[in-house]
Amino acid sequence: MKFNHMAQRVNLRHFETVVRMMQTQLGFLELRRTERSIFLRQPGANIDLQLSRSDSAHRDADKRRSQIAFLSDTPKADLEALAAWARTQGLEAVVTSSSDREFHLDLPDAFVDFVIEAMLPELAEYGVDA
């Protein structure tokens, strides 16, 4: 088997806003759309992201452990910029950190079971050749 994509749930009321954020702020391209979900890819990446509409009222208390993760030389500033954009769209946005090298963006009303993480590239240097 070969890894193809990952899927995360987005509250259906904010689904299109999150899709727009991924496209306009992070450069993702739409690959395929169904009634329930959209498949996106960031140019240069080799894995796809599926966002699925969810009407779940349940919010994972531990959702920070489930992330869509990005590498960045300026992780906090990049997530603060995304948070500012989300606020202009009427969404509450919270940026937290687990260290001085990794930060998390939560849109509590939109992200059901995940956060967006940005971390310094050095954290992805595993010493493994692909």
32-79 tens-digit pLDDT: 999 999 999 999 998 999 999 998 866 767 777 788 999 999 999 999
DSSP labels, 51-111: EEEE------TTGGGSEEEEE-SSHHHHHHHHHHHHHHTT---EEEESSSSEEEEE-TTTB
Residues above pLDDT 90, as percent of the chain = 74
**Among residues 15, 112, 115, which one has the least CA distance to residue 60?**
112
pLDDT of 80 strictly over 90: yes
Predicted pLDDT of residue 118:
96
In a domain, 62, yes or no: yes
Q: Is residue 81 one of the residues assigned to a domain?
A: yes
* Residue 26, in any domain of the structure: yes
Q: Enter the tokens of residue 93.
A: 């946005």
Q: Which domain holds residue 11?
A: 5-124
Backbone angles phi, psi at 53, to 5 degrees: -70, 140
Picking from 120, 115, 112, the residue whose alpha carbon sits closest to that of residue 37 is 112
pLDDT of residue 60: 67
* Residue 58: per-residue pLDDT: 66
Asked whether residue 129 is domain-assigned, the answer is no
For residues 98 and 19, the model is more confident at 19
Total domains present in the chain: 1
Decide which of 123 and 104 is more confident.
104
**Domain CATH number, residue 82:** 3.10.180.10
Integer CA distances (angstroms), 118 to 36, 37, 46, 53, 111, in order:
27, 24, 18, 23, 16
CA 81 to chain centre: 14
Instruction: Give the separation between CA 11 and CA 110, rounded to whole angstroms.
Output: 5
pLDDT tens digits, 107-118: 999 999 899 999
**92: pLDDT strictly greater than 70:** yes
What pLDDT shows up at residue 130?
58
